[in-house]
Amino acid sequence: DTDAQGRVRAVDAEADIELSGAGGRELRAEPREVAAYLREITEDAPPRLTGFVWFRLPVPGDRRGWSATTLAAVIAGNDLVAEFATEWLAQDGGTTDIWIKNVGNIDAAPPTHALPVHCPYADALAGFRVESAASGLQLRPEFDMRLRPGERIHAGWTRCSSAVNDHVQPSR
C-alpha cells in the first residue's frame, strides 16, 4: 500500500490485493525479464559465480509463483512462448462452449479472443467479458489472470449460424 506521496506504507505478501486498499498493487517477477537478466549476467559472469538460487519453487495451488514448466524453461534458456488455442465444443441445444488453453511454455495472460462473425450471440464465464468490436464479438479477460502451460479455462459460450472450426486463432 502507498500513501498520497507514493511512499510504501505496507507490504502484503500472500494476501489478496483487495486487502491492501486503494493504493495496493501486485508486483510479479516476469519470466522474460528474469531470463533476459540471467542471459546478461552469465555472458559477463563474475569469476566466482557458480549459480543462482530461486527463492520461490513451484508448489500446487500457488497462483503467484511460476509453474514448474515456466521455471524449467527459464533455467534451460529456452525461448519463452505465450501461445493460446481456442477449443470450440458443440453442445446440445445449438450452443458452443469456448475453452481457452495455454499451449505455450510460460504462465501468461490470455489475449482477447475474437469470435467468428457468424457467432452473433455469446456470454462470458470465468473472468472474461463479452465486448462488441467492429469485427463482431470478443471475449476479453476482465482482470490480470494467468494460465499455466497446459491449463485451460471455460471462457464462455456462443450461438453461431454455422459450425465453428476447431482451431480458430485468437487475436493478440
User: What does each C-alpha distance from 3 to 10, 20, 23, 46, 86 come to in angstroms?
Assistant: 9, 11, 7, 39, 42
At what angle are helices 68-76 and 31-43 packed, to 10 degrees? 20
Residue 22, pLDDT score:
62
pLDDT by 10-residue block (mean), the chain, 172 residues = 74 60 72 93 89 85 88 94 93 92 95 92 94 92 91 95 63 41
Residue 132, pLDDT score:
93
Residue 84, pLDDT score:
95
Find all residues with CB under 8 Å of 133, minimum gap 6, and list them.
114
Segments of the chain assigned E as strands: 84-90, 95-102, 113-114, 121-124, 128-133, 136-141, 152-159
Give this prediction's pTM: 0.78
Say if residues 35 and 74 touch (Cβ distance below 8 Å): yes
Residue 52, pLDDT score:
87
166 CB-side CA count, 13 A: 0
Q: How far apart are CA 149 and CA 107, in angstroms?
A: 6
Among candidates 132, 133, 152, which has minimal Cα distance to 84? 152
The 10 Å Cβ neighbour count of residue 152 is: 15
**Phi, psi (degrees; rounded to nearest 5) at 139:** -100, 120
Residue 51, pLDDT score:
87
Residue 25, pLDDT score:
67
